[in-house]
Structure 1
Amino acid sequence: MKGQELIKLFFFFFLLSLASCQSSDSAEESHGTYELGTKVSGLQGDVYCGYFDREGQLWFGTTSDGLYRYDGNSLVHYTLQDGLSDNKISSITQDNKGNIWLGTASGICIFNGQKFSHLNLPPYDTITDWLKQSYPVVNPNEVQSIHQDKQGSFWFGTNGAGAYRYDGHTFTHLLDHIGRKQPDSLYHNIIQSITEDHSGNLWFASMTHGGVIRYDGDSFRQIMPDDGISDDMVRTIFVDKAGNIWFGFNGNRNSGLTRYDGTSFQTYTVGDGLCTRNIRAIYQDPDGNLWIGGFSGMCLFDGQKFTVFKGEDGRIFDRIVFIVGDAEGAVWFGGKNGLWQFKNGQVIDWIDHQNQ
């Protein structure tokens, strides 16, 4: 009897261990195949920014519909439900550890491939009654641009609070008193672009009449129209393969596209064939052509002449806010009116019109 009881007891624990192993294997399999976000057939909403990471993935931020990731095969959609701090994504970059940093309307969001974490900017409450009525789109907590420098520090450009430097522990507030004072006696400096040149200098674009600010590691130097740029409301800054620095402007002063070669400034205007005064995006393709996109359209510059970019049906692509390239040489561009891929001479529409 004792032997039979021992055998029964043995089989009981044996079955229990099997159940435990099966349960553990099932949990690991579920965790291993779990993917944050939702696979979708196309994007929805207005696309605000785009980024091509080192793994060959494309990331797209929208004005109100969260974040999208495209790995070459599938498109994945991330929203507040997945851990985003806000569904408005204004800027995207990748740090030296492979994490994706997002500038949102509610601070900074960091994605490590598994989950999102949040990093809040220091409090900066300068929203006056005048500002609410005159410029309701200004939001000092919104991060318009992100850049990690060669020393590993992060630089954030905001929508009304200037810039911040973050060393991983401490925020340093900078450039908040640059530009033109508004009727409420405050500056509300908007930094829409931060770029590092081949020499390690940082360049900041101020949209609130602050021009361009260059930081050489020791001091800041403000560059205004009297110094050679064509406007003091700067939208974007781009460094090409040769080290030239290109500036795109808001365009309300008959401005153009300005190039700085390290010695002098040269400006190209609509009279030279430029397709838009309001320049939001600049990109250089593998052939060396510059793609310039903005409110009135998109054009290519081969160093000699500008050519307006059109679809096969003659369509002009306007309201462009970003242009990026992928590993296969395709060019992606988008903005208020959609997202497109230009590949092998054809334009592909990536907006999911059926679900809008």
Structure 2
Amino acid sequence: MKTFKIFFLATSLLFIYCKGQLPNDQNENKTSTLGAIVSKMDEKIWKVYQDKNDNYWFGSNGNGVYYFNGKQLRNYTTKDGLIDNAIRGFQEDTLGNIFIETHSGISKFNGSKFITLIPEISEENKWKLTATDLWFHTNKTEIDVYRYDGESLIGLQLPRKDLDKAFETKVVGLGFKDMSTSPYSIFGIDKDKDGNMWFGTIVAGAFRYDGTSFLWFLEKELSTLTDGRVPGVRSIIQDKNGHFWLSNFISKYKVSEDGSSYEKFEGISKSITFFDNRIPYFNAGLVDNFGNLWMTTYTGGVWKYDGKTLSNYPVFHEDEDVLLISIYSDNDNMLWLGTDNAGVFKFNGETFDRFEPINN
């Protein structure tokens, strides 16, 4: 099953849109004319992505994008046309354009330059879903998500629900830095193997959109917890049996064949004992080509679940616990980690090793 890519945190200011595109064989040459050649990457690399031509894009939290083609490492920043240097995700369209999500908006790289997309709000909130859509976060209160159809970046709003009644408590948004104060502010955006879109919110649960209707997951564990902590639905992954894991080890869900309802099952049995005083939630996850679940917690390393056993892979650098932000599977099914304090890590089959690109 194709790995879910995990995307979150973007804002929108003034945007400029253009439809320019170069063939992929020209993109490599044009890319090399931008940015500065550097010898190493920032320590805060939140996102990892490999494009169709096997080039790597590393997104930092403040120093722009690092592009590695196997020979040279280049750094692209706002000086080169990026809308912001705090990177939150990468996507690629069918033409080979790279879309870079930041907390100040979305930059499109067309092979020769970075272009900032102009968002527009769908006044009638008309949702639509096609196979080639790209979806992005926004920090605006009146809209929850952007859908990019290849021409327009359209702002949409999730269905409003009676949250107080559903969760039996007063539900309010938190307004974390670079996020809106709306309870529907989106943490996680994922696509399942059937092409349905999943949206995980900060305190309003999760929503599944099949192109026609929404299915709302309103479980209390997906909102503000009884002790006041707010994990949020940051990552949504589908296991080999078709169950969905919504950012926690506690439960998994099965959607009915017609998509109108869901059933809840126990997740990893007694999983809370693995975490001592930490809540059993993960901030990023994926399923590998063998059907194993891989999940990261900010501290405590990487967790692998094969359907029976939960295993832990500690990740350290210079005797310090590495703070994990994301996990990614590349074109060769190699696992990568984005971190908040130690750069990038790559799995060698047994442990995660720090990755150091070398300029040739």
CA distance in 2, matches of 1:183, 1:324: 28
Residue 250 of structure 2 contacts residue 271 of structure 2 at CA under 8 Å; is this kept in 1? no
Change (3 A) 1:37 1:190: same
What is aligned with 2:138?
Answer: 158
For the residue of structure 1 that corresponds to 2:338, the secondary structure is strand
Change (3 A) 1:307 1:73: farther
Instruction: Give the AA of the match of 2:154.
Output: F
Instruction: Give the AA of the match of 2:348.
Output: K
Question: Deviation at 1:244?
Answer: 3.5
What is aligned with 1:248?
Answer: 247
Instruction: Give the TM-score normalised by structure 1.
Output: 0.70
Residue 320 of structure 1 contacts residue 334 of structure 1 at CA under 8 Å; is this kept in 2? yes
Matches within 5 A, 1:159-174: 159-161=139-141, 162-167=144-149, 168-169=151-152, 171-174=154-157
1:35 equivalent to 2:33? Answer: yes
For the residue of structure 2 that corresponds to 1:49, the secondary structure is strand
Deviates more, 1:210-219 or 1:114-123: 114-123
Residue 313 of structure 2 contacts residue 351 of structure 2 at CA under 8 Å; is this kept in 1? no
Question: Deviation at 1:317?
Answer: 4.8
1:305 equivalent to 2:288? Answer: no
Residue segments in structure 1 that go unaligned for 5+ positions in a row? 1-30, 124-147, 250-255
Question: Deviation at 1:220?
Answer: 2.0
Instruction: Give the AA of the match of 1:262.
Output: V
Instruction: Give the AA of the match of 1:259.
Output: K
Larger Rg: 1
CA distance in 2, matches of 1:36, 1:246: 40
CA distance in 2, matches of 1:183, 1:67: 29
Residue 49 of structure 1 contacts residue 91 of structure 1 at CA under 8 Å; is this kept in 2? yes
- Which of 332, 337, 342 pairs up with 2:336? 332
For the residue of structure 1 that corresponds to 2:235, the secondary structure is strand
Question: Deviation at 1:318?
Answer: 4.4
CA distance in 2, matches of 1:74, 1:95: 24
Instruction: Give the AA of the match of 2:292.
Output: N
CA distance in 1, matches of 2:197, 2:51: 21
1:220 equivalent to 2:214? Answer: yes
Residue 120 of structure 2 contacts residue 152 of structure 2 at CA under 8 Å; is this kept in 1? no
Residue 164 of structure 1 contacts residue 171 of structure 1 at CA under 8 Å; is this kept in 2? yes
Instruction: Give the AA of the match of 2:106.
Output: I
For the residue of structure 1 that corresponds to 2:283, the secondary structure is strand
- Which of 171, 186, 189 pairs up with 1:191? 186
Question: Deviation at 1:271?
Answer: 3.1
Question: Deviation at 1:48?
Answer: 1.9
Instruction: Give the AA of the match of 1:223.
Output: F
Instruction: Give the TM-score normalised by structure 2.
Output: 0.69
Residue 119 of structure 2 contacts residue 153 of structure 2 at CA under 8 Å; is this kept in 1? no
Deviates more, 1:42-51 or 1:151-160: 151-160
What is aligned with 1:285?
Answer: 288
Question: Deviation at 1:315?
Answer: 6.2
1:267 equivalent to 2:242? Answer: no
For the residue of structure 2 that corresponds to 1:69, the secondary structure is strand
Residue 270 of structure 1 contacts residue 276 of structure 1 at CA under 8 Å; is this kept in 2? no
Change (3 A) 1:306 1:55: same
Q: Which has the higher contact order (CA 8 A, sep 6+)?
A: 2
The CA RMSD over aligned residues, in Å, is 3.4
Question: Deviation at 1:231?
Answer: 4.6
Change (3 A) 1:200 1:342: closer
Residue 278 of structure 1 contacts residue 296 of structure 1 at CA under 8 Å; is this kept in 2? no
Higher helix share: 1
